[in-house]
Structure formats: C-alpha cells, structure tokens
Amino acid sequence: MTTASAAPPLPRPRGPLSAAVVSRLREGTGRLPSDGAIRRADPYGADPQTALYVLYELHYRGFDGVDDDLEWEPELLAVRRPLEETFLAALRAGAPATGLRDTLTALLAEPAADTGTDVSRYLHHRGGLDHLREYAALRSLYHLKEADPHAWALPRLCGRAKAGLAAIEFDEFGAGRAEDIHARLFADLMTDLGLETGYGHYVDLAPTEALTTVNLMSLLGLHRSLRGALVGHFATVEITSPPAARRLTEAMHRTGAGPAAERFYAEHVLADAVHEQVVRHEVIGGLLQEEPALEPDVAFGIHATGQVEDRLARHLLTAWQAGSSALREALPPAA
C-alpha cells in the first residue's frame, strides 16, 4: 500500500476549469481559466469543486512532481479567488437567518427517530461491509488529514478560545503519541476494510459532494476573515460526532469490519463527548467574549456545514437505496 506520508498524484480533471489547473501544475504551461468562465460555472459543480480541491491541496501535502513553491503562485491564487467567492456566495444564499442560540439548540437536538437523511443511521441499521468501505474511502479525503484544517484557527484566536481549541487539537493529534493520531487511526481502519491508505488515494472515485465537504473546511481555514465560521464548522463536527460515532462503531462490529475499524469510531464516542463541552463553553464562548461581532459568522459556519453534509447524505442514500455504488467507480474487492 502507498504510505500515508507520500504526496499523491494529481487528480483527474472533471471539466475544463480543473483540466487547466491540473495542466498548469503538471506542465508549468497553459492558459488558466478566466474569471468570467469560473463565475459562470455552477459553484457546486464537479469541475469547479475539483479545481478548488486541487488548489487547496497545495497547502497540505501537495502533489507528486509539483513544485512546492506553487502553493503561493499569484496566477493560481487569482484562479482560486473567484472559485472561492462563488462557492461562498452559494453557501451564504442557502443559510437561514437564524441566530446562534437557536442554531446551537437545533444542533444539540438528536432526532428521536430516523429522518431518512442520516447516513450513520442507515449504516447502523442496514449498511453492509460494501457500504462501510465506500463511506471510509470518500471520508478518507478528510480523515487522513483530520484536524489539520481547524489548526489554522489557532493563530487567529486568543485567550479561552485558543486554549480550548488547542486542548481539543492535542487529542486529535494523539496527545503526544504518534500511533494515536486520529489520521493514523483512520488509516488503520482503512487497512481493516481492505482499502488503500495513501493520502488522497480515492479522490478520483469520490463524488463531487464529498469534495465539497472537504473544500468547505479549507475555505474557512485559509481566510482569517472567516475564523468565526471556521469555529462554527468545528463546533458542528464535535457536537454531532458522538451519536454518529456510536452508531458507526456498532455498524463496524455488526459487519465484522475489524478491531481497528471499531476503535476509530469508539475513540470519537468518548473523546468528542468531552470536546463538545469544551467547544461550546470555551471555544465559542471565549471567541464571542473577545469578538462578539463574530456571532453571526459562527452561526453561518454551522449552517454551511449542514448544507454540504446534507448534499452528501442525499447522494449516498439515493445511491445505496437504489442498490448502486455511491462512488464514481466501484471499489475493487477487499484484499
């Protein structure tokens, strides 16, 4: 299997915008897409989301054979700007004008019954090993860099918010033990499921909706002006994680996925129950104590996260309920 630390190959383009970006990174030449062409594209479409994913990954592991200095290449940043602006505008247009108090109350309320749109409930009750493998493959785009996007908030926070976020990130990064880094635990889960553990290995199989969830984190993390929304995203992840992780732990056990597969989600049941308290009282509370004007941004971050996750859930459940693969191509059989 590919080592998790190796830079991945460039993804396959999904249209002219991403083809131009990939060509520039691979060949160093070629015309990049115009501002107008980018702004005319569907911000949720496969082509702009792939282009955005490729540009964001320059700030993480980069790509095999691509010069690291291209991370801050002005012409590439000029392409990224309209991609981000149209994406952000679409997210804002879809976010309700709900105050933070009501938004958090809704986030904390665990539905008593299956609403038909909860992926963890589907996997818990009806998911087979093939569904769990697909879910792990597409979630690997984030979980193999788990907590990295949120770390960008640390230099932008102070006081209680910084201390609370740092405490949670310390846990995410293994509490000083490399073997317990959550990204490492997810790679172990993938091994149990017979999946490749290379960073970014499954990007070409991932549906656009999965790219969108990862791009949102990078968008919020890379802009200081969106630090409040990044805290909202972080809060959503930590608050909603424990019940979903419990269901996924039981799904892994029921299907015989393996001990490492069970351990990853069991770890999140315990850790995120504590993190949920810290993120609400210290990270959000501390941030708004210092910068109360960011309250609408925190609410927007929660809503935006819900939007992209709902789009992914609808895609997954529509495919699985129809007896189809939710990936762009079926996974090869487990080794």
pLDDT band at 218 (very low <50, low <70, confident <90, very high): very high
pLDDT tens-digit map of 184-195: 999 999 999 999
Residues ≥6 apart with Cβ < 8 Å to 244 = 118, 120
**Burial class for 129, CB neighbours closer than 10 Å (0-12, 13-18, 19+):** middle
pLDDT band at 282 (very low <50, low <70, confident <90, very high): very high
Here the tokens at position 317 are 């459940």
Angle between helices 74-94 and 16-27 (to 10 degrees): 150
Query: What is the C-alpha separation between 286 and 122, in angstroms, rounded?
Result: 36
Domain ranges of the chain: 16-93, 98-321
CA 18 to the chain's CA centroid: 20
Q: What is the pTM of this model?
A: 0.95
Q: Three-class SS of residue 61?
A: coil
Residue range 98-321 in CATH 1.20.910.10: yes
In the chain, count H helices and then E strands: 15, 0
Query: What is the C-alpha separation between 270 and 168, in angstroms, rounded?
Result: 13
pLDDT tens-digit map of 55-79: 999 999 999 999 999 999 999 999 9
